[in-house]
Amino acid sequence: MFLISRAKALHQTPLKALNNSIKQAHFQSHRNQRSTKKNPHERSRKRKPPPPKLKTHIPFISDLKEINTPDDALHLFDEYQKLGYKHDYPSYAALIYKLARSRNFEAVETLLDYIKKNDIRCGETLFIAVIQHYGKSHLSDKAIDLFNKIPSFNCTRTLQSFNFLLNTLVDDGRIKDAKEVFNRSSKMGFRPNTVSFNIIIKGHVQKGEWDEACNVFDEMLQRKVQPTVVTYNSLIGYLCKNGDVDKAMDLFKDMSRKGKYPNAVTYALLMEGYCSLGEFKVAKNIMFDMEYRGCKPRLVNYGVLMSDLGKRGEIEEARALLVEMKKRRFKPDVVTYNILINYLCKEGRASDAYKVLVEMQVEGCVPNAATYRMMVDGLCAVGEFDRGLKVLNAMLTSGHCPRLETFSCLVKGLCEKGKLTEACFVFEEMEKRNMQFNSEGWEALVGSVCSDDRGACEFLNALITLDA
């Protein structure tokens, strides 16, 4: 069958005989329907209303959640078919989500083709998810193509998928294409809403196109589409980023007069603007003034102040602010801790940053990929490669993957310290993830460890042979 043969060719999985499995499943379903036909006399009896439907437990989907690799996911799909399990839309959708997250788009497209040919009814959310993953992989053309194909799947496109496509294009830096799609909205049967306009405004300000953003804002008002706090935040953020805080304050006052209440993000943007001008005290006063205006400070506001202190090297003041947050019963999140870890590492205080890492975990805050990356890089920068390896292990165990630069730095450092076994372990982890040194990386590694250490030289020769 087409689906299985293509998936097998692409991924070398044991998927096969899908048509036979589905025919068998249809036959079994038909037989079950025949066996459950009621006696004619029973039909005349008054039927009780059916009980409310409970959420159906689907074993395949439950098992799929435990699968990590796309090949294993496809294998599981095939194994269920061999057992006579009939896959329907929820199963296909769950598998497609899994494959899309893994960037296995060839298999995703194979499954979508099968769904289309067999007229399996789909929900719009499936296409939205794939469009988003296309965007994250900078495959915006495929996102546009899939959006255009949605009706061919017997699925109705709505303004929701339209807005997701706009956002995908904008996030991929393609504001001109997004604007073109936006201008064709009426031909597609859509009337752009506030979200649509906000996305286009965001795209223009990201490109530094202030006049175009203002034109879209004016068009928004002309069409009687009401701006929201998100609209104003995009414009205020642009002005603050470019040092025009006075104009941002005028816009802030204007939105308040029009009954659009600023939120914590609005105040954070103004605070960032003042911090960029060296007005830390003004920024801090804004944070305490916002509560008086009826907007409770959030972590993002404290984060602005902590970041500014960190940039200026005032780490202890940033620490004190973290303590103050806790006294005011704000529970720091991973972003807050990352700010402190980042600047401690930049100051060469990786050991202190490591203590913060331990502290955040003790308090129940789970590190993310950025936390581990900064910590490993910081430890490598001060020559603490053994501890860096420990953090790397924790990172890998948590399901996060370092950047190539982080792997390379750790391998190089371990080799310089004569830790060849540990360096080999790191290199193997790189190989598992298809991450390899470039020519410059190899040159730096060879030059740093081969001059005085014959054992390291032999080790590198072996690795080069393996890489080749």
Nearest to 248 by CA among 233, 228, 263, 258: 233
Count of beta carbons in the 10 Å neighbourhood of residue 264: 16
pLDDT of residue 421: 84
pLDDT of residue 6: 43
Identity at 431, one-letter amino acid code: E
348: left (phi over 0), alpha (psi -120 to 50) or beta: left
Q: Which 8-state DSSP code applies to residue 461? A: H
Whether 418 is in a domain gets the answer yes
Place of tokens 């899939």: 146
Whether 423 is in a domain gets the answer yes
pLDDT tens per residue across all 468 residues of the chain: 334 444 444 444 433 433 444 344 443 444 444 444 444 444 444 455 555 544 555 677 676 776 667 677 777 777 777 777 777 788 878 889 888 988 889 999 998 998 898 888 889 999 999 999 999 999 999 999 999 999 999 899 999 999 999 999 999 999 999 999 999 999 999 999 999 999 999 999 999 999 999 999 999 999 999 999 999 999 999 999 999 999 999 999 999 888 889 999 999 999 999 999 999 999 999 998 898 888 999 999 999 999 999 999 999 999 999 999 999 989 999 999 999 999 999 999 999 999 999 999 999 999 999 999 999 999 999 999 999 999 999 999 998 888 888 888 888 888 888 888 888 888 888 888 777 766 555 655 566 556 555 555 665 565 555 555
pLDDT of residue 47: 56
Whether 448 is in a domain gets the answer yes
Place of tokens 């590694």: 445
| Residues 6+ positions from 235 with CB-CB distance below 8 Å | 201, 205, 213, 214, 217, 251
Nearest to 161 by CA among 152, 177, 150, 153: 150
Whether 415 is in a domain gets the answer yes
Distance CA 377, CA 275 (A): 27
Number of compact structural domains in the chain = 1
pLDDT of residue 71: 73
Identity at 239, one-letter amino acid code: L
pLDDT of residue 435: 78
Radius of gyration of the chain (CA): 28
Distance CA 70, CA 59 (A): 18
Identity at 240, one-letter amino acid code: C
Distance CA 442, CA 404 (A): 13
pLDDT of residue 426: 86
Whether 413 is in a domain gets the answer yes
Whether 199 is in a domain gets the answer no
Whether 68 is in a domain gets the answer no
Identity at 157, one-letter amino acid code: R
Whether 464 is in a domain gets the answer yes
State in Å, rounded, how far the first CA of the chain is from the last one: 37
pLDDT of residue 366: 95
313: left (phi over 0), alpha (psi -120 to 50) or beta: left
Distance CA 356, CA 362 (A): 10
| Residues 6+ positions from 287 with CB-CB distance below 8 Å | 267, 271, 297, 301, 302, 304, 305
Domain that holds residue 439: 403-468
